[in-house]
Each structure stands twice: as structure tokens, then as C-alpha cells.
């Protein structure tokens, strides 16, 4: 599973949103520099061409979900074949990724953290160990933390935190279990992403 390992603050400033962990002093400080990095950064959020807007939206979505171009374009191709609005279909695919489900269920602090948990085999999928962050989950699937992981202090403290769980997930914090009980809907999607601009970019 490929992931972004470059300077995160630059991504924060370029995309205009915090796609990583907002609770660090580094990101709190960079809010004061609300413009893109580089010599011409202060003018970067000015008037843009339609192509530039579409490109930036695509790049932002890839960074938010931690997906590289080849995989993201594959998702787009799959979305065009769905009996749904293409933009919605694309977002549904991204939302159903294992690393994102772990994050949405409140089991990880960020999607990046969710990806790490998936890579380390923290969860079982339908009773079997899973280590592929990009695997797409479907209705009826059940994730559960492995017995060894349940004893970790991180999970002991997790029950104290309140998280808004989307309706398509059923979360049992006591047993560290996540059940896929529905399909992500438009109001469940990442609010900072305009999927229509992404579709316009790829459909040219």
C-alpha cells in the first residue's frame, strides 16, 4: 500500500485544509500562514482556471484518503460503471476502504493512523487477520480487533472519547467491533471534497 511520506505541512498549506492530525503544535502554528508554500504562495489561492481547480481537487482527495494516482484512477473507472452518480460512486469507494472505515468508526485518530493499524494486522475481517489498508468492505462485513490488540492501553482509553459514527457503521466499543450495516451516503462523504470537479478532470 503506497502512502504519502513527504512534508505534511506543505500539503496542509497547498490544499488549504488540514488532512492530517490537527492537534499538533506544528499545524496550529501553520494556520497563521494560510497560503500555499513557496515564493508565490501568497497568491496561490487567487483566481484559478477551471482545469487548475479540478486538478487541485483531485490532488486534495488523493491526499485526504492516502491514495496514489494509479489506484485513484482505477477507482474513477470503477465509479463510471456504477448505476449511480459518478462522483457519489467514487466517494463511496473511498469511504469503504479498510483504513477509512477504521478511522470513521473512531478506532484511529486519523486515516494515516488507521492505515498503520491495518498494516500491522490489528483487526480481523470476518474472523480472519487482514493487513491490506485498501481492501474495500461491503455491507455485512465485520471488523474486530484481535485479542492481543484489545489489551493495548490505546484501546482502553478509546472508550472515553466521543465520535460521530456514520449511519452505515455499527460500532461496539466495548468489544472493539465494527459492522458494515449500510452504504455510505452523500452526507457521509468528506465535506471538504467536491467530487464533481474530480469527475470533470478525468472525463476530459
User: pLDDT for 28-44, tens place per residue?
Assistant: 555 555 555 655 555 65
Task: For residue 128, give the 3-state DSSP assignment.
Answer: strand
Question: What is the arithmetic mean of pLDDT over 18-25?
Answer: 56
Task: State the greatest distance between any 2 C-alpha atoms of the chain, in Å, as a whole number.
Answer: 53
Grid coordinates representing 123 are: 483487526
Q: How confident is the model over 50-93, as pLDDT tens digits?
A: 999 999 999 999 999 999 999 999 999 999 999 999 999 999 99
DSSP state of 97: B
Residue entry with cell 497568491: 43
How would you write 146-196 as a 3-class SS string? CHHHHCCHHHHHHCCCCCCCCCCEEEECCCCEEEECCCCCHHHCCCCCCHH
Closest CA relative to residue 203, chosen from 79, 61, 64: 79
Task: Kindly report which listed range (84-88, 142-146, 156-160, 187-191) carries the lowest average pLDDT score.
Answer: 156-160
Query: Where is 71: in which H helix or E strand?
Result: helix 69-80
Backbone torsions φ then ψ of 180, nearest 5 degrees? -85, 110
Beta bridge partners of 167: none
Average pLDDT, the chain: 86
Beta bridge partners of 97: 136
Question: What is the arithmetic mean of pLDDT over 168-186?
Answer: 96
Closest CA relative to residue 10, chosen from 22, 28, 27: 27
Beta-strand relationship, 142-145 and 123-125: antiparallel
Q: Identify whether the C-beta of residue 18 lies closer than 8 Å to the C-beta of residue 1.
A: no
Q: How confident is the model over 107-127, as pLDDT tens digits?
A: 999 999 999 999 999 999 999
**Domains of the chain (ranges, CATH numbers):** 8-94+194-202 (1.10.1050.10), 97-183 (3.10.290.10)
pTM equals 0.82
Beta bridge partners of 178: 143, 171
Q: Go through 183-193 and write b for each residue having 16 or more CB atoms within 10 A of its CB, e for each that does not.
A: ebeeebbbeeb
Amino acid at each position: 500500500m503506497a502512502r504519502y511520506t513527504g512534508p505534511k505541512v506543505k500539503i496542509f498549506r497547498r490544499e488549504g485544509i488540514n488532512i492530517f492530525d490537527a492537534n499538533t503544535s506544528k499545524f496550529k502554528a501553520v494556520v497563521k500562514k494560510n497560503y500555499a508554500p513557496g515564493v508565490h504562495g501568497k497568491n496561490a489561492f487567487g483566481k484559478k482556471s477551471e482545469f487548475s481547480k479540478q486538478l487541485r481537487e483531485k490532488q486534495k482527495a488523493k491526499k485526504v484518503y492516502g491514495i496514489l494516482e494509479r489506484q485513484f484512477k482505477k477507482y474513477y473507472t470503477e465509479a463510471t460503471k456504477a448505476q449511480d452518480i459518478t462522483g457519489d460512486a467514487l466517494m463511496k469507494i473511498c469511504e469503504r476502504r479498510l483504513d477509512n472505515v477504521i478511522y470513521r468508526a473512531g478506532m484511529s485518530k486519523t486515516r494515516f493512523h488507521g492505515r498503520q493499524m491495518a498494516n500491522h494486522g490489528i483487526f480481523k475481517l470476518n474472523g480472519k487477520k487482514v493487513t491490506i489498508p485498501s481492501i474495500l468492505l461491503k455491507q455485512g462485513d465485520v471488523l474486530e480487533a484481535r485479542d492481543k490488540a484489545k489489551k493495548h492501553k490505546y484501546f482502553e482509553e478509546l472508550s472515553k472519547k466521543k465520535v460521530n459514527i456514520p449511519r452505515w457503521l455499527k460500532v461496539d466499543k466495548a468489544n472493539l467491533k465494527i459492522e458494515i450495516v449500510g452504504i455510505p451516503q452523500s452526507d457521509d462523504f468528506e465535506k471538504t471534497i467536491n467530487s464533481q470537479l474530480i469527475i470533470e478532470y478525468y472525463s476530459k
